[in-house]
A and B are shown apart, each in its own frame.
Chain A
Amino acid sequence: AQSVTQLDSQVPVFEEAPVELRCNYSSSVSVYLFWYVQYPNQGLQLLLKYLSGSTLVKGINGFEAEFNKSQTSFHLRKPSVHISDTAEYFCAVSENDAAGNKLTFGGGTRVLVKP
């Protein structure tokens, strides 16, 4: 069975400062990795994904993540955050099979950007 651990439940950060959200996963097979963002009272929106190829993945809104297979990590980073980045961020892992892309999510990291 696969699992995802997000090491920080809350991350306060000042506007224009960098932020890193940590994610570790466990799985017995090759996986796909995702970061989703959830704004208040909204559904989940994809930030970026790793399927294969380059381990550094760039996503929307200036976010990027690096896949590290040896450390089973997929940390999310942004060099300079905006107030509008205040949201909850979820790391997820998928074992892709013929039936689709069943995702297992971490517990989430709430980012609060302060002026």
Chain B
Amino acid sequence: EAGVAQSPRYKIIEKRQSVAFWCNPISGHATLYWYQQILGQGPKLLIQFQNNGVVDDSQLPKDRFSAERLKGVDSTLKIQPAKLEDSAVYLCASSSLPGQGNTGELFFGEGSRLTVL
């Protein structure tokens, strides 16, 4: 079974530029999450989708961050314009719904490391 796929793995941009990250979850997983992991800290949830709807985006800085999951499968996270403090690893994760083989855990991709200069 293929895992969660993310791209690009690494991205370096200058502040005020824009960047986009892509995630393809495990096949059949209805729920998709984007986490931000700043160096030396634990991951922090940015946004949670169930199918193509947003469940929780309370921690997403909406003035510069946006995310979509238009067809309920893959997802894109965009930052525009980027700030220095956005330097982090952006982790995508997925899980199935309760009653659909859900084992309680999230399955993570390898992450996209962003450096803002």
**Interface of A toward B, CB cutoff 8 Å:** 4, 6, 32, 34, 36, 41-46, 49, 51, 90, 92, 94, 96-108
Contact = CB atoms under 8 A, between A and B. Distances in A.
Interface string B99-117: 0001111101111010000
B44 A43 contact: no
Given A49-B104, A96-B98, A106 B31 contact: no
B91 interface: yes
B33 interface: yes
A105 B44 contact: yes
Contact of B31 (A42, A45, A99): A99
B48 interface: yes
A6 B43 CA distance: 13
A51 B102 CA distance: 11
A30 B99 CA distance: 18
A104 B45 contact: yes
Contact of A44 (B91, B97, B98): B91
A32 B106 CA distance: 12
